[in-house]
Every structure is written in C-alpha cells, then in structure tokens.
Amino acid sequence: MAEEQNYYHTKLEEIKGRFNEREDKSLKRWRDTTLEQWEKISNPVYGDYENSSGIKIKDLYTENDLPSDIQEISGFPGEYPFTRGVYPNMYRGKLWTMRMFSGFGSPEDTNERLKYLISHGETGLSIAFDMPTLYAYDCDNKKAVGEIGKCGVNVTTLKDMEVIFDGIDLSKVTTSMTINAPAHVLTAMYFAIAQKQGLDLNSVGGTVQADILKEYIAQKEWIYPPEAHLRIIRDMMTFCTDHARKWNYISISGYHIREAGASAVQELAFTLADGFYYVEMGKKAGLDVDKFAPRLSFFFNSSINFFEEIAKMRAARRIWATVLKEKFGAKNPRTMMLRFHTQTSGYSLTWQQPLNNIIRTTVEAMAAILGGTQSLHTNSYDEAMALPTEDAVKIALRTQQILAEETGIADTVDPLGGSYYMEWLTNKMEEEAMKYFDKIESMGGILEAVKSGYIQREIAATSYRRQKRLEDGKEVMVGVNRHVEDNEKPLNILRIGKEAEERQINRLKAVKSGRDEDSVRKALNDLRNAFLDENKNIMPYVIEAVKSYATIEEISNVGREIYGGWKEPVIV
Amino acid sequence: MIEADINALIEGILRSDRRSIARAISYAEGANREIKKEMLALLYNHTGRSQVVGITGPPGIGKSTLIGNVASLMSDMGYNVAILAIDASSPYTGGSLLGNRIRMQEALNEKKIFMRSLANRGARGGLSESSIGSTAILDAAGFDIVFVETVGAGQADLDVMDLADTTILVLGPGLGDQVQAIKAGIMEIADLFVINKMDRDDSYFAMKDIEDTLAMDDARPFTRKVVGTTVKDMESYRGLIDLIKLHGEYLKESGKIGEKRFRMGIQWMIEDELRNRIIEPIMSKIPANSRNKNYYSIIESIGEFFSETMQEIKEDKII
Amino acid sequence: MVDGKNQSLFKEKPIKILLAKPGIDGHDRGVFVLAKAFRDAGMEVLYAGLLPTPEEVVDTAVNEDVDVVALSLLNGAHMTVFKKVADLMRERNIDDIALVGGGTIPDEDKPALESMGITGNYGPGTPLAVIIDHVTSRATESRLRKLR
C-alpha cells in the first residue's frame, strides 16, 4: 500500500511541477497601466470568482498559465492520454448518441413507450425503475405502498420483464437499465428473456449501472454491506467477460455523487477512485486488465459552471488513461480510453420559473459536448417537480438536435483545447483530484473512506457550504435568490395514478399461485449454496432463480440472510 | 403546572407510559425549576431500583453501537432496558446534532427500547444537567437497567461516576494514546473496562495493559474486570453483560444501588437553590464593569448571614 | 417570525426537531443541509436515518418528545407516506408535535397536506431562513401546547 500511496503522491508532485511560475513582464506592465487606469475610471465591484470546487478564478489567463509542455501533456485526439477526446475525429464522423431515459408506471405502459420509440427508429432503449425495485422490495411489501411506478417502472418478477419486452427482439436493440443494488437480478431477467428468445448471450447488448460504491457515497440504494455487493459485481464481471461479451456490467457514475451535493472536483475524484477500485478488483479476480477494463464506462453530470464542467471531463480522460497505463499496467490504448455518458444536472434546475430550465440545460449540454461526451441525456424543464411530461421531453431532445445540427459546435475536435484558461483549469482539476486520491489511499482506499463516512461528510460539507453561499448571494440562481417572481403559475406535471400499483399486486398474486413452489425453493437453495462458496459464481443460479419466478425480494433475501443489511455511518 | 397534572404525570411514569416518561424528561430538561423540583421530589420515593450503567470513553470508539447491541441482548433476556445518550451542544449557537440515536436505531426499533437523546447544553463533565432528573424518572418508571452514554468529547467525563451505579470505560486497540487523551484519573473511576473492536490484531495488547493495571488494584471491594467486544460477534457482548450483572449483584448485596445518584440529586438541588436564590440575584446587581469596587465585603456578609444556620447543621440540629 | 415573548420559550430548552424521510428514498442532500442549518440556528436536531417506517418516525418523535417532525420526500410518494405519519399521530392523540413537509411537492398537493396539519411543504431552492422561521413558529405552537 505504501507503494501505491507513493504513486498518487508522486503524480501530484509531477502535476504541480507543470506550472512553472515565470515572471511575466508584459502581464505586469498591462496590470500596472491599462488595467489600473481602467479600474480608476470604472470603479468596478468585484465578486468572489470561484467555481463549484472552490477554485479561485483569476481575472486573466495568458500563455504563462499553460503547462510548460502543453502539446505533450494534452496529446492528440484519439491518442494517449486522450485529453482532447477518445476518437480522432470525434463528432465529425459520428455525433454523440442522444439517449433519453424513460420508464414509468406499469410494465404495460413501458412496453408501449418502448415500442413507440422503436417504431421511430430508436435502437438504444433506456429504462428507469421505481424505488421498490431499486431497493429490491416486492410490489406488495408494506414499504412499497404509494411508491409503485412513481419514479420508473416496477419489476417484481420475470413476468414483469416479459411484459416490458413483449414483442421486442432483443437481438435488434441494446438496453440500458438504471439499476444498481439488484443489477444482477435484472441482468439475469434480461438474459432469461434472451435465452427464451433463443439468443446466445454473447449477442445480447446492454448496460446496467451496478456501481455500488457510489450508492454508499451518494444515492443510498443498497441491500447488503459493501463486501457482499462487491462480490456480486465480481461475479457479474467474470460471468459477462466469459459468457456475455457485449454486456456492460457496470457504469461508473459520478452523476449521483454530484447530485448529492459534491463539487465538480469531488465528482471527478470520487468517481475515478471508484473506477480504480473496480479495476483492482478485476485484477484480483484474475482477469486481464486489457480484457475487462475496456468494458468499463462512465457516467458524468454536466452542471451549470460551463468551463469547470468541460475541464472536468478533459481531466477525467487524462487521469484515467495515465493511471490505467502507469499504475495498472494496461497495454491496449482502448483500455485507457475513458468513454462516458452525460446527463445534465437535475440539481441546477429550479421549480421557480421552470422555463428557465431549458436555458440551463442547453448550457450544460454544450459543456458536455465540448467536454467530448459519447452520449447525452438532456433533462426536461419540469423535472425539478416530477417525471417529465411528453412535451417537455420533446424540447429536451430538440435542444440536443439544435446544438448538433444548427450551431456548428461539433464541427471541430475539442474546440477549447489550447485556451489558456481551459488548459490551466484542466490541470487544476487534475491536481485537485490527485490530492483526493492521495488522501483516500492514505485512509486505506476508497472502500474504507466510504465505510468511515469520510467521503459522504466531504460531500455534505460542500453542499452545506454551497447553500450558505446561495443564502449570502455569493452564488446566484435566477428565480430563487435573484430576479424572483411572486405568484408563479403552477405547471402541468405528469402524475402517476394508483393503477400501476393495483396491476402489479394482482400480477404478483397470479404469478405466485401459478408457479411451482418446489422449483422456487430449490433455485433459492442452490443460490444460497453458491453465495456461501466464495469460489462459485452466483450468476447462473440467479438466472435459474428468476426463471422459477422467484421474486426480486425473495432472491435478495437469500443474500440478506447471509450478509445482513448495511447501516450507514453517521454523516451529520 | 397545576397539582392534578403533575400527579397524572407521576402516575403515568409509574405505570411506565412512554409518553409520560418522555414528557417528564422534557420537564427535567426545561427551564421551569418549580416543576422540575416538584416532580423530582415526588419521584425520589420511587427510585433506587434501577441499575444505572454509565458508559464513557473516547469519541469514535463505538459506544453507541455497543450500547445498542448490549441493550438489545439484555432486552431478549427479559430485562427492561432504557437508554439516555448525551450529545454535545455548540457553545456558539446552542444547537446540537443528536447523532447517537441513529447508531443504535436498529436495536431500538426491533426491541422497542426506550431511548432519549439529551444535549449537554454546555454542561461539563460529559453529562447534561438534566441527566440527573432523567435517570430518576427512568428509575421510577421501573426500568431494570438504564444506560447513560456520556458525550465522550475527549475530555474526562468524570461526572458519570457520581450518577452511575456501574461505570464502564470503553477503550479500543491503540489504548495508550486514548488514556492520555482522556487524562489520568479516569482509570480510577471505572468499575468495568471494555476493549471494543476486539477483532483488531492489536487489541490483545490493550487487554493486557488493562489487566496489568487492574492487577495493581488494592483492596477494592469489587474486583474490577476487563472484557473484549466486537460488532462482528454478537456473542462477545455476553461477557460484558455477565459483568454488568455481577456488578449489579454486588451493589444490591452491599446496598449501594442508587446511593451516589441520590447524593448527586440532593447536591444538585442545593446548588440550584443557592444559585437561583443567592448567586444569581447578587450577580445581577454587580455591573459588568466591576473592577473598581470591592465586593469582597459582600462575600463576608453572606458568610455571616449563614453562620448561624451552618452552625446548626454542624451540630446536627437540622439534618 | 416569533415575537420576543415566545422566543423565551426556547431560551433554556432549544427547539427539538426530528428530520425524517419515511419512504423508500435515498435523496438525502436536502436533509443533511437542513440538519446543519437547524443546528446552526440553535436547534437540537435528530435525523431518523435511511428508510424508517412511519411507525418508527412517530415512535422516535414521542420518545424524544420533539417539537417538530420535518418530513422530506423526493420520490413522489408524499401523499401516501406523509398521510400515514399524520394518521398515526392522530390515532395516538398527539397534538403537541407539529408536522412540516418538504421535497418535490406539487402546488396542487399542498392544500391536502395542509388539511392533514402538514405545513410548509417547501421545494428545493427555498431559502433556509424561510424554513427556519416556519419551523420556529410551528415549534412555538407545539411548545405552548406541551405547557398547557
């Protein structure tokens, strides 16, 4: 471990050393004459210019702020260390994927929506689940009352997934599922349907989020203690590497970390630290880093501080490539490429004057594009209140289309590369992230840092600090603490009724009365035995269990009995 | 508060009604001294049955989790258990994050154990002023065991020894520094010692250190002991429970249950009376800028004013 | 705002508040910010942790004898879950603990919540001072009821 700590520490010194503070005589002359005279005439009122990460922004950047060897440090697009983009021609060859995620109400509602999207040429499906599914509770659990179908579609048994994908050929689509703690169960259900359709799992493409570390950090949707979930991820990793080569079994997510109140630097640092952990885990499981790591992809937030977001994404690529190569011994450039999906920030949206959110989302989408994202979800203007209405979703999609097709933003690769400010900020973000890696290593790694609550407390402190800055007017949200309007008209928002809940509970009853209880018991028992044997892979047993129509909660209870639950450390 | 209300409250406490107990503790915490004293005076006749177990030790050592688990097991064994946990208040705003509860919430939910968080409100010594009254209320309500968790803010939480029948000092591996941090003297006050986080490799040495210290105990009526615990093994708490029971039996046999608490309660009332009837009225007459005057004559006259009473007390004419 | 006379209600015994998210909802940024803000406003603050049931929330409120329970949900289940808490309070005849709400609550739901005695119902972006004032005024009602 001392050796590892050395790595980030040495790297930090190296990054700091890139800035050699030369004395710039012409800048000094400018300050002493032109600027000073102007200030005398204009009496400026200066604010405190600071980004979300607390980095102080200078009044002017010059050549002097560029790292000494910018060309070498940045590299060319499509080449190590990928600062300027993972592909040589970026969007000139192929635009980013406009992936809008959806899913609500009952499986029938979602099936209808998916078929509608497919009939309009969409092949990349994306599904959101409701809270009970995310926590692996059945739809008839007491805790689930009032929550069915509210934030996404409910899935309790394989039967629900069969309804969702009824009439959809899984060899013709890829499906992204936003699911974490029970990702293995949903993956198993998807695989079970593919097998029923007679498909080889190696031909099935899709993504589950399955990033459990960020759950403990931010989204707080877990079932077991970290070690149990990490074992499950290990099993998914090895199972998919061997049997489902096109399945992205993890999407390492900064989005939720940011939404939980983190700064851009914290999002960058904690997400990549999670990523490094998964790489280490794969290596420990005996996998070749160049074989499994290319399947790892990322999911970032794009928030409202335009340049900071772009710098964050550029820095992320550079850090990932460098660390994968230098620390984890990757040889294949593909392994070093950080590919990512972006979603614009939900937290930056306001329920006051909601149409303003369209502008915010536009700026955030531009940052994601200039930051070199591979796919993008733009939020709808009514999302501060509820799930989006169809009209609002359409504007969000049109926003991307206007940016892509009208503005010329995608005409050249990394248009901000070489900007004094952008390159300085990219370096600064990298430096600040490296400080966190160094600190986290000294605490015994990210898992320990999360279990002790350190990461969560860092985020809570940032988010409280930001709230204070808003209250003090040091930061502005239009419509919230400046340019406030009274008597705003309420929006029409999407409401999810009780029907989904009734429908789900009735279906579950029918499934339970129709299934063979003996095979359910046997499947769950086999799964238990697999769990108890560290050397076994649980995935085949999870697939058998879902096929027996065991429920998501029954399957998860097997692990609950063995590992117990997990109690969060005290954060505040 | 009218007589009937306070009687109803007392009656509620005596039949262990949770809402009455909770409300009574609020009175014990509150500003109204008359209610507080009247209530406590009525309750003292019903106290002296609970074993009050004070738990102290440095911050972060896992006191709350330990109490939660021990309370849960004792509850299974048929004991009627209650918990008081003291959190620190901010000296600047008076506010407090009462974080102890959440650390034991699971045990509380499952076993329906009564637990109350108290902010120390600037009181020193690891307790809150209200902890005296609150333990009396819980004692009167018929709880067999009342755990009191001190702030554990690094300073010596010595006052707990005056409140608790059984004082337990929780330490962890890497003990040397902790004993330094909580200052000398604390080893003296504890009846029992716990080394928490026994799953750690270095915990053996901590056990050994304590055992060596205890071996030098001379002629204490109760032979002090140390035990190891870990969250990773629920069974490890049973050793601690056995010791708590053992100390409880010793106290009962020697008639010492509630002895210290009773004294502390009386002392608090005397101090409260003096503060409110003498000290504060006098201080309110003394201007902030008082350097120029000689107030020592006042002290002199107070002394004279009481001399007769004090003489009678000394001659056992009053008490 | 609370007048000077009532402010003295809290002089020796600060406002005690329980923050709870009694649903399947892990969005805790808001409650953490509020917990710190209430503390800095001089209150004694409890947080009920992740995923408590409405029963657990009411039990905690009673045992701790808090002045206010602040409920927060951002998962759209407030009409079911907040109501459950309010119902339990009524069943147990608890009228000296105030309920306030917050989260993503559409305007049209607010009258129904108010009629259950759940007030405030602030959304994201509400200034902390507004929330603190509201809590203080509801706590005043509770405290006066407790003293009756």
Instruction: Indicate which CATH number applies to the domain containing B153.
Output: 3.40.50.300
CA distances from B98 to A164, B101, B151 (A): 46, 7, 10
CA A456, chain centre distance (Å) = 17
User: Is residue C8 predicted with pLDDT exceeding 80?
Assistant: no
Chains touching chain C, criterion 3+ CB pairs below 8 Å: A, B
**How much is the pLDDT for B155?**
54
Q: Which residue of chain C has the CA closest to B33? A: C12
At B129, the amino acid letter reads: E
**How much is the pLDDT for B177?**
64
At A213, the amino acid letter reads: L
**How much is the pLDDT for C3?**
43
Alpha carbons A105 and A84: distance in angstroms, whole number: 41
**Mean pLDDT to the nearest integer, A538-564:** 97
Q: Token pair of A262, please?
A: 């983190």
**How much is the pLDDT for A451?**
94
A262 neighbors A464 (Cβ within 8 angstroms): no
- A261–C76 C-beta distance less than 8 A: no
Q: Which residue of chain A has the CA closest to B105? A: A567
Alpha carbons B68 and A434: distance in angstroms, whole number: 39
**pLDDT band for position B198 (cuts 50, 70, 90):** confident
Return the H-helix or E-strand segment holding A299: strand A297-302
Q: Token pair of B317, please?
A: 């004419």
- Strands A205-208 and A247-248 turn out to be parallel
Return the H-helix or E-strand segment holding A330: none
Q: Which residue, among A217, A218, A214, has the nearest Cα to A233 in the 3D structure?
A: A214
User: Is residue C18 predicted with pLDDT exceeding 90?
Assistant: yes
pTM of the predicted protein model: 0.90
Q: Which residue of chain B has the CA closest to A566? A: B106
At B57, the amino acid letter reads: G
Q: Is C91 left (phi over 0), alpha (psi -120 to 50) or beta?
A: alpha
Q: Is A513 exposed, middle or buried (0-12, 13-18, 19+ CB in 10 A)?
A: exposed
Task: For chain B, give the mean pLDDT.
Answer: 86
- C44–B89 C-beta distance less than 8 A: yes
| Sheet bearing A297-302, strands edge to edge | A97-98, A375-377, A340-344, A297-302, A251-253
Q: Which residue, among B218, B210, B215, B216, has the nearest Cα to B192 in the 3D structure?
A: B210
Alpha carbons A269 and A485: distance in angstroms, whole number: 38
Alpha carbons B86 and B71: distance in angstroms, whole number: 17
Q: Which residue of chain B has the CA closest to A568? A: B103
| Sheet bearing B166-171, strands edge to edge | B114-119, B81-87, B145-149, B51-56, B166-171, B192-195, B225-228
- Rounded to a whole number of angstroms, the distance from the CA of A132 to the nearest CA of chain B is 20
Helix (H, G, I), strand (E, B) or coil at A503: helix
Give the residue ranges of DSSP H helices in A443-497: 446-451, 454-471
CA distances from B41 to A100, B130, B201, B265, B272 (A): 69, 15, 50, 10, 14
A111 phi, psi to nearest 5 deg: -55, -40
**Mean pLDDT to the nearest integer, A85-90:** 96
Q: Which residue of chain C has the CA closest to A260? A: C29
Alpha carbons C1 and C140: distance in angstroms, whole number: 10
The rounded percent of chain A whose pLDDT value lies above 70 is 99
Top mean-pLDDT range of A1-10, A305-314, C27-36: A305-314
Chain C contact set for B98 (CB, 8 A): 44-46, 64
CA A39, chain centre distance (Å) = 44
Q: Return the residue in B106, B108, B109 with the most chain C beta carbons within 10 A, the one to mutate for interface testing.
A: B109
- Rounded to a whole number of angstroms, the distance from the CA of A572 to the nearest CA of chain B is 7
How many domains, chain B? 1
What separation, in Å, do the N-terminal and C-terminal C-alpha atoms of chain B show?
Answer: 30
**pLDDT band for position C1 (cuts 50, 70, 90):** very low
Q: Please report whether residue B87 resides in a domain.
A: yes
CA distances from A150 to A129, A145, B242, C108, C136 (A): 9, 11, 50, 17, 33
Q: Return the residue in A140, A351, A485, A566 with the most chain C beta carbons within 10 A, the one to mutate for interface testing.
A: A351
**pLDDT band for position C2 (cuts 50, 70, 90):** very low
Q: Which domain holds residue B126?
A: 48-261
User: Is residue C139 predicted with pLDDT exceeding 90?
Assistant: yes
**pLDDT band for position A249 (cuts 50, 70, 90):** very high
CA C13, chain centre distance (Å) = 18
C96 neighbors C145 (Cβ within 8 angstroms): yes
Q: Return the residue in B36, B65, B84, B102 with the most chain C beta carbons within 10 A, the one to mutate for interface testing.
A: B102
Alpha carbons A45 and B209: distance in angstroms, whole number: 64
- B106–A570 C-beta distance less than 8 A: no
- C146–B31 C-beta distance less than 8 A: no
- C35–B102 C-beta distance less than 8 A: no
pLDDT of B213-231, one tens digit each? 888 877 788 999 999 999 8
Residue A341 contacts by C-beta under 8 Å, 6 or more apart in sequence? A99, A251, A297, A298, A299, A300, A373, A374, A375, A376, A377
DSSP B319: -
Residue C16 contacts by C-beta under 8 Å, 6 or more apart in sequence? C43, C44, C45, C46, C64, C65, C66, C67, C68
Q: Token pair of A39, please?
A: 């200030």
Q: CA dihedral defined by A408, A412, A418, A421, rounded to 10 degrees?
A: 30
Alpha carbons C10 and C6: distance in angstroms, whole number: 8
Q: Which residue, among C70, C59, C72, has the nearest Cα to C21 in the 3D structure?
A: C72
**Mean pLDDT to the nearest integer, A100-109:** 81
Whether the ω angle into residue A81 lies within 30 degrees of 0, i.e. cis, is yes
Residue B192 contacts by C-beta under 8 Å, 6 or more apart in sequence? B166, B167, B168, B169, B224, B225, B226, B227, B240, B243, B244, B247
DSSP A86: S
Q: Is A325 exposed, middle or buried (0-12, 13-18, 19+ CB in 10 A)?
A: middle
B64 neighbors B108 (Cβ within 8 angstroms): no
Q: Centre a 10 Å sphere on the Cβ of residue B249 and count the other Cβ atoms it contains.
A: 11
Task: For chain C, give the mean pLDDT.
Answer: 91
DSSP A295: G
Helix (H, G, I), strand (E, B) or coil at A132: helix
User: Is residue A304 predicted with pLDDT exceeding 80?
Assistant: yes
**Mean pLDDT to the nearest integer, A25-40:** 94
Q: Which residue, among A462, A224, A274, A261, has the nearest Cα to A345 in the 3D structure?
A: A261
Q: Nearest by CB to C50, which of A146, A220, A350?
A: A220
- Strands A205-208 and A251-253 turn out to be unpaired
Alpha carbons A323 and A329: distance in angstroms, whole number: 9
- Rounded to a whole number of angstroms, the distance from the CA of C55 to the nearest CA of chain A is 11
**Mean pLDDT to the nearest integer, B265-287:** 84
pLDDT of B37-86, one tens digit each? 889 889 988 999 999 999 998 888 889 999 999 999 999 999 999 999 99
B178 or B307: which leads in pLDDT: B307
User: Is residue B178 predicted with pLDDT exceeding 80?
Assistant: no
- Rounded to a whole number of angstroms, the distance from the CA of A489 to the nearest CA of chain C is 10
Number of Cα atoms under 13 Å in the Cβ half of residue A545 = 29
**Mean pLDDT to the nearest integer, B77-103:** 93
**pLDDT band for position B180 (cuts 50, 70, 90):** low
Chain B contact set for A567 (CB, 8 A): 106
Q: Return the residue in C32, C75, C108 with the most chain A beta carbons within 10 A, the one to mutate for interface testing.
A: C32
Chain B contact set for A454 (CB, 8 A): none
User: Is residue B156 predicted with pLDDT exceeding 70?
Assistant: no
Q: Which residue, among A302, A294, A256, has the nearest Cα to A278 in the 3D structure?
A: A294
- B99–A567 C-beta distance less than 8 A: no
Helix (H, G, I), strand (E, B) or coil at A125: strand
**pLDDT band for position C5 (cuts 50, 70, 90):** very low
pLDDT of B120-142, one tens digit each? 987 777 788 788 899 999 999 99
**Mean pLDDT to the nearest integer, A82-103:** 89
Q: Give the residue numbers in B contacting A (CB under 8 Å), as ranges.
A: 97, 99, 102-103, 106
Architecture of domain C4-146: 3-Layer(aba) Sandwich (3.40)
**pLDDT band for position A229 (cuts 50, 70, 90):** very high
- C59–B117 C-beta distance less than 8 A: no
**Mean pLDDT to the nearest integer, B247-269:** 88
Helix (H, G, I), strand (E, B) or coil at B200: coil
Q: Nearest by CB to A567, which of B97, B99, B106?
A: B106
**How much is the pLDDT for A5?**
52
- C107–A261 C-beta distance less than 8 A: no
